[in-house]
Structure 1
Amino acid sequence: MEIHLVPAFSDNYIYLLRDPSSGAVGVVDPGDANPVIEALDRRGWTLTHIFNTHHHNDHVGGNHVLKTRTGATVIGARADVARIPDMETCLGEGETISFGSQTARVLFVPGHTSGHIAFWFPEAKAVFCGDTLFALGCGRLFEGTPAQMWSSLTKLRALPDDTAVYCGHEYTLSNARFAVTIEPDNQDLQARATEITAKRERGEPTIPTTIGEEKRTNPFLRADRPEVQAAVGMAGADPVEVFAEIRRRKDNF
């Protein structure tokens, strides 16, 4: 599966997908239709699928224009049927949807919003997780609880290590600056922070990351690790409580 990053607004990423064997073309979280239309026209592609991870306008704001222009099928969470524009295919945990020769499996990952989902393409080794999991971070808890978000993150963490992670924003540099305050002795994290700084100085994206890389370096996925618990003064505590403390610190960072 071809995957192309389409920058939007100040730090959003929209993703353009194409299944070469069938010619199916999808877009993930089109907050703005204009850069999507430009990317499609440049490649001579016709949009067939619109995938939405959650209802926030910077992820769904382009739905109506793209649907009207192309007739593409709008796909999203059943729980958000009243909040996602033009949605016609409603899915929930464990359900699948065909995208040409590819199959996407839906993961219900609430926390950032109450109806948030992710689309996992096992054959393409890719997951589109919106604002639940970021490179070195996770989304703010606007509509969910720490317990919900921790459950969602551990669900994503359980995917194969070589799964490419495509998230909704370019937040990695600020996330790295925070992460090293939690685990200053994590050598993998220190090396990654240096690499991220260099990439951003060159104007390069830091996405995709991988599940394996996040497991080694993302403090929000590591709230059950003894070294992280000790670092925040909560040795042996419930991982949900440790996660909540890390999220609180990030909110005030």
Structure 2
Amino acid sequence: MLKIFPIPAFEDNYIWLLQNGAHAVAIDPGDATPVLAVLKQQALKLDAILITHHHSDHIDGVAALLADNPQAIVYAPAKEHFNFIHHEVKESDEIALPSIGLNLKVMEVPGHTLGHVAYHDEHSLFCGDTLFGAGCGRLFEGTPIQMYQSLQKLSALPPHINVYCTHEYTEHNIRFALTVDPENQALVERQQQTTLARKSGLPTLPSTLALELVTNPFLRCDDMPLKNAINMPNANEIEVFTKLREMRNHF
């Protein structure tokens, strides 16, 4: 049976490990040490590594993992540069992972970086630094239009899908979201649940797309109360998104 669980890394990263029996796949391993520890502890064979984008906190563990697991195949965005051998992936590609019983589709989601990709099937979305719990990634390379369009692509996936983000930013994102959407009862309830989870040392992820659609301000740029809260009642969705992203950058 497939299990998906986070391996904490650095200050707030999650390296997602997909496990089925004695086989495993790692997503965005910025640090090899905690992954190697789990693989050894559970006697797992690493069959593949999936990369969403080129930032160091998502790829710096790849070399060490390959040194210890030379059989592992690395998949990474075709539109970005990497210093390790990998299979390039692009929009609509499908990745077969038979050892864990999974087939994932590739979506190009530029914004955080220009070549950023996400991986998904009908149940799970691994979105890197594009979509976060109650937030979205900073625009290091892309434009607001690119990022908004990428978020809209993700929003069109089935609402029941589990969202596996790679940073534990949910608590802070919710605090910001409440400044622009204070009357959102679903958001208030999510804050309570998130606070309780973090006090208990538990991750706030995965989320679900359904939850993000009702609590994530970056997916609700057409919401009139939100637009009024930032004094942009007549603005279009791109303008609202751009303003929200600027506000979040300084929050």
- TM-score, normalised by the number of residues in structure 1: 0.95
Residue-by-residue CA offset, 1:84-135 (whole Å, 9 max, x unaligned) = 231421011111110113110001011111110001022xx01110100000
What are the residue-to-residue correspondences of 1:59-74 with 2, within 5 Å? Answer: 59-71=58-70, 72-74=72-74
What are the residue-to-residue correspondences of 1:1-253 with 2, within 5 Å? Answer: 1-20=2-21, 24-71=23-70, 72-80=72-80, 82=81, 84-100=82-98, 101-122=101-122, 125-253=123-251
Q: Distance in 2 between matches of 1:181 and 1:169?
A: 21
| Residues 30 and 61, structure 1, Cα contact 8 Å, conserved in 2 | yes
Residue-by-residue CA offset, 1:28-58 (whole Å, 9 max, x unaligned) = 0000000000011111101010000000010
Identity of aligned residues (%): 43
Q: After the TM superposition, which of the residue ranges 218-227 and 58-67 deviates more from structure 2?
A: 218-227
Q: Distance in 2 between matches of 1:207 and 1:85?
A: 30
Q: 1:24 Cα deviation (Å)?
A: 4.0
AA in 2 matched with 1:120: H
RMSD: 1.1
Q: Distance in 2 between matches of 1:223 and 1:201?
A: 31
AA in 1 matched with 2:215: T
Regions of 4+ moved over 2 Å: none
- In structure 2, the gaps of 5 or more residues are none
Q: 1:238 Cα deviation (Å)?
A: 1.4
Partner-residue secondary structure (3-state), 2:240: helix
Q: 1:19 Cα deviation (Å)?
A: 3.6
- TM-score, normalised by the number of residues in structure 2: 0.96
Q: Distance in 2 between matches of 1:118 and 1:127?
A: 7
Aligned residues: 247
AA in 2 matched with 1:45: L
- In structure 1, the gaps of 5 or more residues are none
| Residues 161 and 211, structure 1, Cα contact 8 Å, conserved in 2 | yes
Q: Distance in 1 between matches of 2:97 and 2:174?
A: 34
